[in-house]
Amino acid sequence: MASRAPQRPNNASPQGKICQFKLVLLGESAVGKSSLVLRFVKGQFHEYQESTIGAAFLTQTVCLQDTTVKFEIWDTAGQERYHSLAPMYYRGAQAAIVVYDITNQDTFARAKTWVKELQRQASPNIVIALAGNKSDLSNKRMVDHDEAAAYSDENGLLFMETSAKTAMHVNDIFLAIAEKLPKNDAGGTAANRPTSGVDITQGGGSNPQGGCCGRSQ
């Protein structure tokens, strides 16, 4: 009670440090990028998901065995006319999910060009995952699973067929990315950051936190 400083936990958390990564979703419009994010972040699915006009932003954390990975997710507009703005979002991203619709061959072709663009223009060690979404509609399948898998192998991509509707492989693909991301480099992590002294950023940031707690009670 006499202490002014907040109580500290007594030992380092078993979860270890939190690493933060920027992840961007790319792909033709209406392949289900926003739905994948919504499923992953909020566990929801909307049959009629609005078209994204811009770049939606959400965060979600996944816990691995010894680290915690926080994704900053940028869900981009798929429409071709916004294509030129995409680099704003994949630039500096450590991970990307390129999404196509297994019932539409064109979206797979488009996904391949996205992969090429990322390989050419994004940061060189970006982790790219290919997601064949709408796997629940396998009776309308137009893209062969093995073909996409082979393509992913050739290009060093993670690959899964997903369904935002049934949630199949949605968490898995994010988890797989989290596993594959390098955790040891300083990029994105803020562990061991000095927590004392008059750090201006703390002044700004600690208040919202305190408020959050106040609210939640």
Partner 1 sequence: MDTKTTSSDSVNLIELSDSQINLSEFDPLTSSSVTPALNEKQQPVVRRPSRPPPPPPNHASNVKTRSSTTSGGAGLTSDLISLQLDKHDTEINAKQTLNKSGVPSLFTLERNRPSFVSYVNDGEAADMHPTIIKSSSSSSAQEMKSQSSSFVSYVPDDSSAKLSRTQSLSTGLSQADHMDFASFEGATGQNAVTSKLLGQREELMQLFMTKRQDDYTSRKPFRLFAGTWNVNGQYPPDSLIEWTAYDKDPPDIYVIGFQELDLSKEAFVFAESSREDEWRKIAEVSLHPKAEYYLVKLVRLVGMMLLVFAMKRHQNHITEVMSHHVGTGLLGKMGNKGGVGVRFNIHSSSICVVNSHLAAHAEEVQRRNQDYADICARMRFSDAYGQSPRTIFQHDVVVWLGDLNYRIEKMLPDMVKECIDVGNYKLLKENDQLLCQLREGNVFKNFEEGEIKFRPTYKYNPGTDVWDTSEKCRAPAWCDRVLWKETAVLSRSTIKNSKKVPKTMTLKEYRSHGALKISDHKPVSASFGMDVKVINKEKYRVVYEEEIRRLDKMENDYLPSMTLSSHTVEFGDVMFQQAVLQSVELHNTGQVPCHFEFIGKFGDNTYCKPWLTISKPKGFVMPDEKLAIEFEVYVNRITASSLNIGSEKLEDILILHLVGGKDFFITLNGKYIASCFGSSLEALCRMKDPIQQVDQKLLLKWSKISVQDANDSESSDEHTLQVPKELWWILDYLYHHARSQPDLFQQPGLHHELQEIQKCLDSQVPVTKGLNSLPGSSHSSAEALLVFLEALPEPVIPFCYYQQCLDVHSNLQHSKELLKTMPVHHRNVFNYLIAFLQELPKYEDKNGLSVHLIATIFAGLILRPQQRKSGIEARIEREKSIVFVERYLMNNLEEL
Choice between 15 and 138, CB closer to partner 1: 15
Residue closer to partner 1 by CB (options 38, 129) is: 38
152 vs 189 by CB, closer to partner 1: 189
Q: How far is the CB of 127 from partner 1 (least distance, A)?
A: 16
Tell the smallest beta-carbon distance from residue 32 to partner 1 (Å).
Answer: 18
User: Number of C-alpha atoms within 13 angstroms, CB side, residue 87?
Assistant: 8
Angle at 43 (CA atoms; ends 34, 63), nearest 5 degrees: 100
* Spatial separation of the C-alpha atoms in residues 94 and 69, rounded to whole Å: 12
Q: List, as one string, the DSSP characters of 89-122.
A: HHTT-SEEEEEEETT-HHHHHHHHHHHHHHHHHS
The number of angstroms, rounded, from the C-alpha of 31 to the middle of its chain's C-alpha atoms is: 16
Instruction: State in angstroms the smallest separation of the CB of 153 from partner 1.
Output: 30
Distance CA 138, CA 91 (A): 34
Nearer to partner 1, 137 or 176 (CB): 176
Which residues would be at the binding site for partner 1 (CB under 8 A)? 1-3, 5-11, 13-15, 17-18, 20, 22, 41-42, 53-61, 63, 68, 70, 72, 74, 77, 81-82, 84-85, 87-89, 91-92, 188-191, 193-196, 200-216
CB of 100 to partner 1, least distance (A): 22
